[in-house]
């Protein structure tokens, strides 16, 4: 029996010794990892890859010699490397935190195991003279406390570094360290995070192929081939108007014909009228039956305007005030977003507008207020910019903000919430897009970390895919069963709708932070805020053409009559053939700058400039 006990003691000693060695190795690993994390944090604080001496020198050289294509390509390559380094750093920090937690957990488990084993070993000193083993344990305890302190500090650094990376990029991009390349034609920088709110940064995709595809336009619009509900517009009425940002459903397709392709704002060529808008705003105009609607706001005033499309006369202007629950303090926004960035929408019976403080209001076509309410001050750091869209008699609002993302549908007649769905996403400045897939109608939204599709009638989730990150500005594009999602410092993803959805292809060369992409059955067109354009094969991701417009672009491209209408920030409209070869139809100047996507009526284009509203047509 004594021999058996001795064997057990030997095994216990061996087990305790093994646990001790594992604990020591794990502790050393944790300490080394902690030191590396702290050093990495110091490097992140001191180093700025986007503001390097080499990059600044290259930018200066490009400004001096804008025709140097080789230098432009070098800057493009350097920018891509910086973007990849950004995500690599995030991954390393995240994995470092996981490994650190795991190693500390191993140490704790091993120490607990040693404690349990030592209690079973006979002959341990019970008291009397000082115990050398106890003294060693005390010394080790102080070493452990020191190590724990270092580990806690490094864990804190993991969090701070993760936050600091994003803030550093935001600050540098807002300061213009990379945006300076835009006027010289940088193809890939597309990263002014500070401008996320501009021009509502919305839009969706095409409703199918277009005339340039020789496949015909998809006639299945917002509600499919259904009768109007409760007297609301039919598909034909919706297609004949421009009821939301980027047209029906927010899909970037204009169904109007005889669209002009040449004008000059300075000389007045093909400018039917020009009307000054009293208050500023980055929302794009919408059109219904000869009436143009848009909103404007300052820090102290909010207004909605109705304008006659034939004369340019402001038929009515209504103040948005005395709304129940409206905050007394106006939220802070950046100048590129302002207080009225979200696009309005209409169901052909009423018009709806939302503002930066969460005020939501409905007017009838005579300017009478139907209802109003406040949704709560949006919690974001640029200003609210998601545009509104209609599904039958439901007003859809994407309200992704800090800590409480959601999408909701309100009754158009009363403003009562019909359904509301919570979303586990970060802040988004993109807008909802409604498409008919041929089988069903889907409401598609993009926000870090996923693209999600809902049933617009009840808010039930249909499918989702984790494929996007960062401060999402562009909305998705859709055509022929495929959804396209993009964001700067993230990637471009083509998602085939299905149960489950399937990732067709990805790309990271051209990433937009403001303009939304435009899709047809064959092609995907994308322009970055820095003026770099590209055409992809919609199904494979093969690049057909790339072009430097050399001027920033905030407006989203729209397809009309088989042509792409793309307005740059200086007010120059680039009209291209929607084809796999880069073909310029014309370039027509507005005469003033613009950040807003154009709206289309039969034979007419409505463009909101920085100060005036323009009607273009023969």
pLDDT tens-place string over residues 93-129: 667 777 777 777 777 787 767 666 665 545 444 444 4
pLDDT of 92 higher than 90 = no
What is the per-residue pLDDT for 22?
83
Lowest mean pLDDT: which of 15-19, 78-82, 285-289, 593-597?
78-82
Are 158 and 250 part of one and the same domain? no
164, 189, 214 - which closes a domain? 189
pLDDT of residue 152: 74
Section 44-58 average pLDDT: 58
| CA dist., res. 422 & res. 404, Å (int) | 7
Confidence (pLDDT) at 212: 38
Contact 481, 497 (CB under 8 A): yes
58 against 520, higher pLDDT: 520
146 CB-near residues (< 8 Å, 6+ apart): none
Check whether residue 42 and residue 133 sit in a common domain. Answer: yes
Does position 133 have pLDDT exceeding 70, yes or no? no
Classify residue 581 by burial, with Cβ atoms within 10 Å: 0-12, 13-18, 19+.
exposed
Q: Which domain holds residue 78?
A: 2-189
In a shared domain, residues 200 and 185:
no
Statement to judge: residues 413 and 547 lie in one domain = yes
pLDDT, greater one: 489 or 7: 489
Say yes or no to pLDDT of 525 above 70. yes
Residue for token digits 């501009």? Answer: 198
User: Does 220 lie in the same domain as 179?
Assistant: no
- Whole-number Å distance between alpha carbons of 389 and 243: 8
Contact indicator for 359, 309 with CB cutoff of 8 Å: no
Q: Residue 525 is part of a domain; what is its CATH number? A: 2.130.10.10
In whole angstroms, give the CA distance from residue 413 to residue 394.
Answer: 9
Quick one: pLDDT at residue 170? 43
Provide the mean pLDDT of the chain. Answer: 81
Of the ranges 92-106, 284-298, 329-343, 375-389, which one carries the lowest mean pLDDT score? 92-106
Instruction: Give the integer Cα–Cα distance in Å for 178 and 56.
Output: 8
For residue 285, give the 3-state DSSP assignment.
coil
Query: What is the pLDDT, as a whole number, of residue 27?
Result: 78
Run of H or E including 162: helix 132-175
Token representation of residue 91:
């991954």
Distance from C-alpha of 477 to C-alpha of 434, rounded to nearest angstrom: 10
Same structural domain, 290 and 177: no
pLDDT, mean of residues 546-561: 96
Tell me the percentage of the chain whose pLDDT exceeds 90: 59
- pLDDT at residue 56 in the model: 62
Verify that 198 and 185 share a domain, yes or no: no
Predicted local confidence at residue 551, as pLDDT: 94
Last residue of a domain, one of 166, 189, 212: 189
Domain boundary among 138, 161, 189: 189
Instruction: Please enumerate in sequence order all residues whose Cβ is within 8 A of that of 29, keeping only pairs 6 or more positions apart, or say none.
Output: 99, 103
Given this model, what pLDDT does residue 12 score?
A: 62
> Is-contact 535 582, C-beta < 8 A?
yes
477-499: pLDDT as tens digits: 999 999 999 999 999 999 999 98
Pair 236, 321 in one domain = yes
Question: Taking residues 127-146, what's their average pLDDT?
Answer: 52
156 and 224 both lie in a single domain: no
| Model confidence at 473: pLDDT above 80 | yes
- Amino acid 259: pLDDT: 97
Per-residue pLDDT tens digits for 148-207: 666 676 666 556 555 544 444 444 434 333 333 433 333 333 333 333 333 333 333 333
- Identify the CA nearest to 604 among candidates 594, 614, 612, 595: 614
CA 324 – CA 332 distance, rounded (Å): 20
pLDDT of residue 199: 35
Structural domain total, the chain: 2
The pLDDT tens digits for 345-404 are 999 999 999 999 999 999 999 999 999 999 999 988 899 999 999 999 999 999 998 888
Note the pLDDT of residue 196.
32
pLDDT of residue 55: 62
Same domain, yes or no, for 438 and 476? yes
For 212-268, how does the pLDDT look when each residue is reduced to its tens digit (9 = 90+)? 343 333 333 433 434 444 568 888 899 999 999 999 999 999 999 999 999 999 999
pLDDT score at 103: 72
Position 89 scores a pLDDT of 62
Say what the pLDDT of residue 276 is: 98
Tell me: do 608 and 493 sit in the same domain.
Answer: yes
Are residues 68 and 203 located together in one domain of the fold? no
Residue-level pLDDT at 13: 64
């Amino acid at each position: 029996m004594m021999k058996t006990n001795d064997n057990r003691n030997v095994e216990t000693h061996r087990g305790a010794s093994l646990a001790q060695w594992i604990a020591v190795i794990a502790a050393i690993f944790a300490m080394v990892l902690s030191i590396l994390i702290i050093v990495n944090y110091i490097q992140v604080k001191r180093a700025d890859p986007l503001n390097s001496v080499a990059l600044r020198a290259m930018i200066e050289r490009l400004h001096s010699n804008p025709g140097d294509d080789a230098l432009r390509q070098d800057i493009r390559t350097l920018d891509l490397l910086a973007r990849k380094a950004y995500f690599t750093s995030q991954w390393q920090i995240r994995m470092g935190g996981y490994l650190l937690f795991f190693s500390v957990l191993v140490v704790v488990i091993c120490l607990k195991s040693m404690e349990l084993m030592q209690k079973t070993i006979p002959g341990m000193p019970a008291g009397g003279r000082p115990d050398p083993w106890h003294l060693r344990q005390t010394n080790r305890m102080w070493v452990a406390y020191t190590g724990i302190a270092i580990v806690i500090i490094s864990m804190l650094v993991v969090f701070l570094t993760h936050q600091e990376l994003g803030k550093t990029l935001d600050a540098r991009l807002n300061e213009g360290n990379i945006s300076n390349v835009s006027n010289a034609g940088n193809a890939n920088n597309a990263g002014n995070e500070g401008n996320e709110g501009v021009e509502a940064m919305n839009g969706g995709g095409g409703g199918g192929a277009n005339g340039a595809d020789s496949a015909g336009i998809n006639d299945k619009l917002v509600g499919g081939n259904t009768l109007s509900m409760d007297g609301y517009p039919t598909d034909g009425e919706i297609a004949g108007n421009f009821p939301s940002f980027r047209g029906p459903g927010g899909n970037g397709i204009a169904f109007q014909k005889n669209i002009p392709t040449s004008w000059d704002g300075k000389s007045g060529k093909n400018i039917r009228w020009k009307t000054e808008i009293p208050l500023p705003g980055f929302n794009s105009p919408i059109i219904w039956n000869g009436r143009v609607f848009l909103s404007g706001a300052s820090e102290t005033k909010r207004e909605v305007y109705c304008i006659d499309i034939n004369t340019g006369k402001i038929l009515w202007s209504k103040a948005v005030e005395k709304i129940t629950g409206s905050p007394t303090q106006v939220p802070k926004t950046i100048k590129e977003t302002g207080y009225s960035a979200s696009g309005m929408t209409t169901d052909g019976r009423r018009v709806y507008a939302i503002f930066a403080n969460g005020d939501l209001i409905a007017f009838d076509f005579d300017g009478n207020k139907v209802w109003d309410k406040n949704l709560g001050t949006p919690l974001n750091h640029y200003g609210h910019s998601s545009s509104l869209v209609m599904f039958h008699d439901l007003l859809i609002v994407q309200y992704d903000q800090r800590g409480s993302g959601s999408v909701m549908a309100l009754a158009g007649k009363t403003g009562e919430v019909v359904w509301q769905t919570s979303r586990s996403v970060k802040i988004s400045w993109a807008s909802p897009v409604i498409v008919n897939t041929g089988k069903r109608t889907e409401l598609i939204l993009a926000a870090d970390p996923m693209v999600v599709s809902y049933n617009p009638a009840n808010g039930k989730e249909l499918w989702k895919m984790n494929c996007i990150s960062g401060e999402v500005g562009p909305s998705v594009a859709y055509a022929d069963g495929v959804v396209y999602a993009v964001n700067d410092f993230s990637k471009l993803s083509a998602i085939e709708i299905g149960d489950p959805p399937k990732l067709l292809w990805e790309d990271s060369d051209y990433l937009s932070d403001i303009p939304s992409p435009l899709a047809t059955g064959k092609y995907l067109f994308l322009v970055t805020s820095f003026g770099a354009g590209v055409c992809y094969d919609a199904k494979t991701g093969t690049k057909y053409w790339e072009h430097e417009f050399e001027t920033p672009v905030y407006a989203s491209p729209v397809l009309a009559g088989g042509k792409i209408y793309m307005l740059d920030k200086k007010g120059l409209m680039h009209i291209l053939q929607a084809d796999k070869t880069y073909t310029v139809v014309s370039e027509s100047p507005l005469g003033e700058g613009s950040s807003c996507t154009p709206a289309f009526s039969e034979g007419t284009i409505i463009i909101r400039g920085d100060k005036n509203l323009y009607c273009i047509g023969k």
